[in-house]
């Protein structure tokens, strides 16, 4: 009797398992002509490239709900899984995410129906490992293996070169990245426009030669914040050192024009803390900037710094002008173009940032935003690579005042 009960229990559990598997694998019913795995995967790819990872993941899931073994959707899901694991930041979750990601890549590879599918699997594996970058000492080797597998299948496939370029950039190997981006342009295939745009960023970084790891990381940020600029001023421009060296030159006998002799950079010794930076990763840097006093990088009247606020080109121009004035001790710079007509169709001469815009453009520190129209683009964001180039040129310009 007891044996019969055991077998009955085992049978029931087995049936439940089989039903569960069948339910999991059963495709949902198609709803409309466009409700296909290929269409949803294409939508997922579009969302993925726009870095809308949640939307991409949903599209891949829709594709897989129609066909659970659809290789292109599985490879796409591997990338969104990698992103989610990286976003969590927790090492255990990244380990779990890595296992899930690699399982999806394996499933995608097993389900691939053609060389095109196989190339996609390897290409998206490169992208997935680039997204996760974990384990730190292993991920790039796996990227290289998948890249080599992809181009062995088709040396003229441009996608593997594009994502390999991104992986090289993540390692700060900009010459390697540039080589791969140029290969994409040479092949004139997928991602040629994006490759051209990202190659321009790489070339800017190579010219800027950031001296800190932070500078290398921030170079790829499309819209930098007040905290980012504060860190760049301290780490790349070495602003405190510039102010200090400029002060030493004066102490050694430098004689400024009489009208400028009453002007000194404000190096306050007391802390001017902001109320909204406690615990921020850049708290110490922001406090240093507040002590140095840079126009555009101050607190508001309520002592709020807004560290994560994205800065505009107009605000950045004001910051650059302020540093230039303080190191050179030439206050005439602040009013150099006041009263003149504006060469920019989008900047009126009565605006608070007009003179700063003229100063940075006339000194080749910043360029107009749109060459065809001559617009300055005052409300446009500041790209990290552009900020690095500006600070490199500014630093070279200011050396003459600190020697």
Write out the two tokens for 378: 């005052």
- Quick one: which of 56, 33, 30 has its CA closest to 43? 56
CA 256 to centroid of chain Cα atoms: 43
φ, ψ of residue 222 to 5 degrees: the values are: -75, -25
- Mean pLDDT over 41-67 rounds to 96
> What digits encode the pLDDT tens for the residues 109-158?
999 999 999 999 999 999 999 999 999 999 999 999 999 999 999 999 99
pLDDT at 270 over 50: no
**What pLDDT, on the 0 to 100 scale, is given for residue 248?**
63
**What pLDDT, on the 0 to 100 scale, is given for residue 244?**
78
Residue 128 · residue 109 · CB < 8 Å: no
- Mean pLDDT over 20-32 rounds to 63
Average pLDDT over the chain, rounded to an integer: 88
> What digits encode the pLDDT tens for the residues 201-250?
999 999 988 888 888 889 889 999 999 999 999 999 999 888 877 766 55
Q: What is the pTM of this model?
A: 0.76
Residue 109 · residue 123 · CB < 8 Å: no
**What pLDDT, on the 0 to 100 scale, is given for residue 250?**
55
**What pLDDT, on the 0 to 100 scale, is given for residue 214?**
84
Q: DSSP letter string over 277-343?
A: -TT-TTHHHHHHHHHH--TTSS--TTS---TTPBPBHHHHHHHHHHHHHHHHT-GGGGGTTTTSPPS
- Calculate the alpha carbon distances from 201 to 145, 298, 352, 399 in Å: 26, 29, 30, 26
| Buried/exposed 83-98: b ≥16 CB within 10 Å, e otherwise | bbbbeeeeeeebeebb
> What digits encode the pLDDT tens for the residues 360-377?
999 999 999 999 999 999
- Mean pLDDT over 193-198 rounds to 95
CA 363 to centroid of chain Cα atoms: 28
**What pLDDT, on the 0 to 100 scale, is given for residue 16?**
40
Beta bridge partners of 381: 312
- Quick one: which of 40, 74, 85 has its CA closest to 59? 40
**What pLDDT, on the 0 to 100 scale, is given for residue 245?**
75
pLDDT at 71 over 70: yes
- Mean pLDDT over 54-72 rounds to 97
Residue 381 · residue 369 · CB < 8 Å: no
**What pLDDT, on the 0 to 100 scale, is given for residue 304?**
95
Beta bridge partners of 370: 375
Give the range among 243-247, 264-268, 350-354, 376-380 with minimum mean pLDDT.
264-268
Q: How confident is the model at residue 25 (pLDDT cuts 50, 70, 90)?
A: low
- Mean pLDDT over 77-97 rounds to 93
Q: Which CATH superfamily is domain 34-209 in?
A: Tetratricopeptide repeat domain (1.25.40.10)
Rounded to 5°, angle at Cα 179 from 81 and 392: 90
**What pLDDT, on the 0 to 100 scale, is given for residue 249?**
57
Rounded to 5°, angle at Cα 351 from 375 and 372: 5
The residue extents of the domains of the chain are 34-209, 217-251+262-401
**What pLDDT, on the 0 to 100 scale, is given for residue 247?**
66
**What pLDDT, on the 0 to 100 scale, is given for residue 261?**
44
């Amino acid at each position: 009797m007891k044996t019969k009960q055991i077998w009955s229990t085992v049978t029931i559990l087995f049936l439940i398992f089989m039903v569960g598997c069948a339910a999991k694998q059963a495709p949902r019913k198609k709803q409309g002509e466009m409700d296909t795995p290929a269409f949803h995967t294409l939508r997922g790819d579009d969302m993925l490239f726009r870095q809308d990872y949640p939307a991409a993941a949903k599209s891949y899931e829709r594709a897989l709900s129609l066909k659970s073994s659809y290789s292109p959707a599985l490879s796409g899901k591997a990338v969104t899984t990698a992103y989610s694991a990286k976003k969590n930041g927790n090492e255990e979750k990244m380990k779990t995410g890595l296992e899930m990601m690699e399982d999806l890549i394996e499933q995608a590879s097993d389900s691939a129906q053609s060389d095109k599918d196989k190339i996609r699997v390897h290409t998206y594996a490169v992208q997935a490992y680039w997204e996760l970058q974990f384990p730190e000492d292993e991920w790039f080797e796996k990227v290289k293996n998948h890249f080599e597998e992809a181009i062995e299948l088709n040396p003229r496939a441009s996608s593997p070169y594009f994502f390999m370029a991104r992986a090289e950039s993540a390692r700060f190997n900009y010459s390697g990245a540039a080589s791969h981006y140029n290969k994409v342009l040479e092949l004139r295939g997928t991602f040629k426009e994006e490759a051209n745009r990202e190659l321009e960023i790489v070339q800017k970084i190579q010219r800027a030669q950031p001296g800190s790891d932070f500078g290398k990381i921030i170079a790829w940020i499309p819209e930098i914040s007040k905290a980012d600029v504060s860190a760049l001023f301290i780490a790349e421009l070495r602003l405190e050192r510039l102010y200090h060296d400029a002060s030493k030159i004066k102490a050694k006998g430098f004689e400024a024009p009489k009208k400028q002799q009453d002007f000194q950079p404000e190096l306050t010794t007391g802390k001017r803390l902001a109320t909204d930076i406690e615990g921020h990763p850049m708290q110490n840097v922001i406090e240093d900037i507040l002590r140095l006093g840079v126009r555009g990088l101050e607190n508001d009247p309520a002592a709020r710094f807004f560290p994560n606020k994205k800065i505009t080109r107009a605000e950045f121009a004001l910051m650059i002008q302020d540093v230039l004035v303080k190191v050179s001790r030439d206050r005439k710079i602040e009013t150099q173009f006041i009263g003149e007509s504006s060469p920019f169709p989008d900047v009126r001469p009565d605006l608070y940032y007009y003179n700063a815009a003229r100063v940075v453009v006339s000194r080749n520190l910043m360029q107009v935003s749109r060459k065809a129209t001559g617009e300055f683009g005052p409300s446009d964001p500041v790209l990290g690579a552009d900020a690095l180039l500006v600070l490199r040129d500014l630093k070279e310009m200011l050396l003459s005042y600190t020697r």
